[in-house]
Chain A
């Protein structure tokens, strides 16, 4: 009887572990994500993006990552006092793309050209 109970207990335990593993496997699959609009989320995303740019200043709009998991950035366009671009004849558009991912209930920001990513602290991502 003891052996039976032990075997049953082990089976239940294995099922539970199996179940957990299955769950872990599902949540570990990174999925594209968005965030709710808000100052705290915007600032957290800017901090994460700045880290991926080695400390450079970066500004997102209030709607960044709220309806798409991808946002592209460019260098600030320096303008003259009339509001005209200083460099009005640009030969290249240097675009860097960031993407937002949810994995294991955590939110990750990835810089696409370097494939480096950082954890975005304090942000609740919604998978899409």
Chain B
């Protein structure tokens, strides 16, 4: 066995100190006027280590290994100056941060919110939509691998503002919802007696939709695909997620295609993923349809393994899966992820001797939506980087070629973009997502068909719109004529998200406010903005 190198940490994780942390919030980042400058000198950046772990409130509890945090008594100004210097050192676009006086911000967290670029992408979306913080206590909360707390429902917010359209995309079979009979395509119309479609009780909806605790009980009323109404009393719990689903071998005009819906690059997914590919190898499939429509990413190394299983030895030999490019102050930290050819022992962080099965394909069909994100996009980009043809069916992906190393200071864990992933050809500029088109012109456009998610059919069913269109494209070489005509509203662009106001992750200022699935937007009319 040899140790695997999964990437370079820019700065130490869990270096922090201080009190309590607050979690993501809607705390305003507008400066408070006319504050004294303190130690801030515009354009002069002391090393972040000068301010690290100097906290207004020193933590007294122990870390998960029973050690004291390295906190020393400091001040709020120390915490802000640490954020400023740390951002200057590690933020990917550090030279696009306007150097504002930290004294004008009410807290380290509100100051952090402005320590990012305000530039836009070509589509007009924010260049940086991924700037977060949470309390370190929340960051250090644990759960059993591969589990999630909730009802087992994966939701899709087709329309977030009234009249809302919230659909069930999939249900975990062993969850409260799965056992009760909630089904894909069910449209949420009431929770208890509250009207979800036009109601104003957003806090109640948040509590009900995204329960933080077990045994939260609500009555959910849905309109089914056939128009009937059904009510389920659901209780939240910790359920095991299934990441590898609907593995099948489908007949095609040219032979057979393997199909798998892969919902997350999470550690428990490795074994079923390898088993699925072994089935494809045994069946000698000539094509692969990889359904990543709900795969928001996860472990980069698993994405590399998957790319290897698709492309095989010959096409990946001597090639890089993805290089992480840091800012020009730390160019030597750039690190390359190879194509991993073996199973990984995640508990020990090593490669085993078990070789991965390979399909040795020169093309792959990828079903994608705007929920196809991060490590999923890395997979698509890395295959493109070694000239494996990626045919994209569905919608534009989320556009997240970036990553970060969550870093604690004084009880808050900060996420600031620190690296961009580029493929073997050095390409990684897909901040507006990969787009399917029949006539690709730019590097972030991929040959394929625009097709909307089809909630009227079960996932994995060959009549389901996206899978059906993929098979049609595979068999005929053309996009089906009605490919883009089904439920087009569910294919959103990032710019489109900016228009959402209620029950939306995007606020009117286009600032992302996220934490643990909860939506922290006060309800307000668009007219108020």
Contact = CB atoms under 8 A, between A and B. Distances in A.
Given A83-B154, A87-B415, A58 B405 contact: no
Contacts of A88: 296-298, 373-376, 400, 403
A29 to B, nearest CB: 25
A78 B516 contact: yes
Interface residues of B, number: 67
Contact of B300 (A54, A82, A90): A90
A56 B516 contact: no
From B142, B149, B154, residue with most partner A Cβ within 10 Å: B142
Main secondary structure of the interface of A (DSSP, over half): loop
Contact of B145 (A55, A87, A92, A95): A95
Given A73-B144, A75-B140, A80-B505, A85 B62 contact: no
Given A92-B7, A97-B347, A73 B406 contact: no
Contact of A74 (B63, B143, B517): B143
A83 B64 CA distance: 27
Contact of B378 (A76, A79, A89): A89
Interface residues of A, number: 40
A80 B240 CA distance: 19
Contact of A59 (B130, B147, B512): B147
Contacts of B141: 56-58, 75-76
Given A71-B144, A73-B144, A75-B140, A61 B240 contact: yes
A92 B403 contact: no
Contact of B296 (A54, A61, A71, A85): A85
A76 B516 contact: yes
Interface stretch (B97-105, B108-116, B131-139): B131-139
A55 B157 CA distance: 36
A64 interface: yes
Contacts of B267: 72, 74, 93, 95
Interface string B43-80: 00000000000000000011111100000000000000
A56 B14 CA distance: 15
A53 B141 CA distance: 10
A90 B298 contact: yes
A23 interface: no
From B7, B64, B398, residue with most partner A Cβ within 10 Å: B64
Contact of B238 (A61, A74, A93, A114): A61
A61 B147 contact: yes
Interface in A1-60: 49, 53-60
A76 B301 CA distance: 19
B481 to A, nearest CB: 30
A128 interface: no
Interface in A74-125: 74-93, 95-97, 114
A59 B61 contact: no
Contacts of A114: 65-66
B283 interface: no
From B61, B134, B238, B505, residue with most partner A Cβ within 10 Å: B238
B415 A81 contact: no
Contacts of A89: 297, 300, 374-375, 378, 400, 402-403, 421
Contacts of B405: 91
Interface string B494-521: 0000000000110000001011111100
Interface string B199-239: 00000000000000010000000000000000000000111
